[in-house]
Amino acid sequence: MAEGMNGKRFLFVLRRFPIGGPQALEALDAALTAAAFDQPVRLLFLDDGVWQLKRGQPAASGRSPMALLGSLALYDIAAPPWVERESLEERGLTPQELTIEVTVLARDRVAALLDDCDVLLNL
């Protein structure tokens, strides 16, 4: 379901390293589940969560969420994920190094994005 349609508007804040634990993958799985229930879902990558987006992670392991990020359109998550500019800069990453298209957002705009949803999940 596209944004603007019925349902609670979810924002998933993704802040975990991609591997080293199941949390990053489980958080994305939760977001896809909400989307599969036809709820409008947005993703925001902050802090160490931006590492999940880095291109060049070995996909075959299935432990990183990287491969699964390719499924966003399949689950009708239409808007590109938001990524905080400062989180990238602090880690020496540029948007060109990311595996999917994103919307880069300045840190002082994050509070407004956090407020612009019905259900806020920091995973």
Footprint on this chain of other proteins (rule: CB under 8 A) = 13, 15, 29, 32-33, 35-37, 46-47, 59-62, 67-68, 70-71, 74-76, 86, 107, 110-112, 114-115, 117-122
Q: What is the DSSP string of 56-92?
A: T--GGGS-SSTGGGGGTTTTT--SPPEEEHHHHHHTT
Q: At its nearest, how many Å lie between other proteins and the CB of residue 29?
A: 8
Q: At its nearest, how many Å lie between other proteins and the CB of residue 95?
A: 20
Q: Which is nearer to other proteins, 53 or 96 (CB)?
A: 53
Q: At its nearest, how many Å lie between other proteins and the CB of residue 34?
A: 10
Q: At its nearest, how many Å lie between other proteins and the CB of residue 2?
A: 13
Q: Which is nearer to other proteins, 96 or 105 (CB)?
A: 105
What is d(CA 104, CA 94) in angstroms, rounded to the nearest whole number?
A: 10
Q: Which is nearer to other proteins, 62 or 95 (CB)?
A: 62
45-71 exposure pattern, b = at least 16 Cβ within 10 A, e = fewer: bbbbbbbbbbeebeeeeebbbbbbbee
What is d(CA 32, CA 59) in angstroms, rounded to the nearest whole number?
A: 19
